[in-house]
Homo-oligomer: A and B are copies of this chain.
């Protein structure tokens, strides 16, 4: 059977007139008569009672009319929804992110994506970097946001925001009155840092900076949430370095200081499994690209996170 023939049949059955049906179908009448005849032969059933003057449906024809309409509608809807799924307009996307991504990076992306692709169901999971990388690896999460770099070849990533580090000091610290601090002045301080996750570039970046400043940070306490490290700083346990966007976490007993000569160095990235991205994922990555304007050279704009008081950025 053939959907085209069914369309023809429905037209004839509705018009009960081959000429008018042919007109409606934008075709000549003889081929229409021929196709209906073919359909009847194919089905082994008479569909119309024809006289030279009038056309009526048989029982078989009446039945086929109902079924054909249903089939055609089903086919059309299928084509439409398959198309939309193919374009990423409809679907489901599991997004994983480290808590800090929820601060400034994720909201504008989710807003833009939700507007452009309202048919996509988003599943959001806030997890630590290790779990996130594992979830990305085995497909439980389609796309993730975490600090770069990481060391898993099967994943691909693009930077989404680049920030400077700022130093977080207890309010009682002798340096808390300075406008900015040099990293080397913190060489003797006790440090509070996040643990060294397999994939999280954050901790490594901090340690690397300290080494470049000529010292190995003495870590007296670890806490996986940066908010917690800041709380510990507030409690006078030590000092730490955090991405500039953490400054919006204003906490009594903590002061943030730009770090002298420290250019924006820590990148938060969007990460996905290498290979054939799904249409929804492609669509999402497209929106991420638009929002963060990657491709215009250095990322900047909405999710660009400036250092404290416009510190070290800007032309």
Contacts and interface: CB of A to CB of B under 8 A. Distances in A.
A280 interface: yes
Contacts of A278: 58-59
Nearest to A48: B276
B1 A1 contact: no
Contacts of A49: 275-276
A1 B75 CA distance: 7
A2 interface: yes
Interface residues of A, number: 38
Within the oligomer, what is the number of copies of this chain?
2
A274 interface: no
A83 B1 contact: no
A261 interface: no
Interface of A is mostly: helix
A155 interface: no
Contact of A81 (B2, B63, B279): B63
16 contacts: A1-B78, A1-B79, A3-B3, A43-B82, A43-B83, A44-B83, A45-B83, A47-B86, A49-B275, A58-B279, A59-B85, A59-B278, A60-B85, A60-B279, A63-B85, A64-B82
For the complex of A and B, the 9 pairs showing the least CB-CB separation, nearest first, are A45-B86, A60-B86, A67-B78, A49-B276, A60-B85, A44-B83, A64-B82, A60-B82, A43-B82
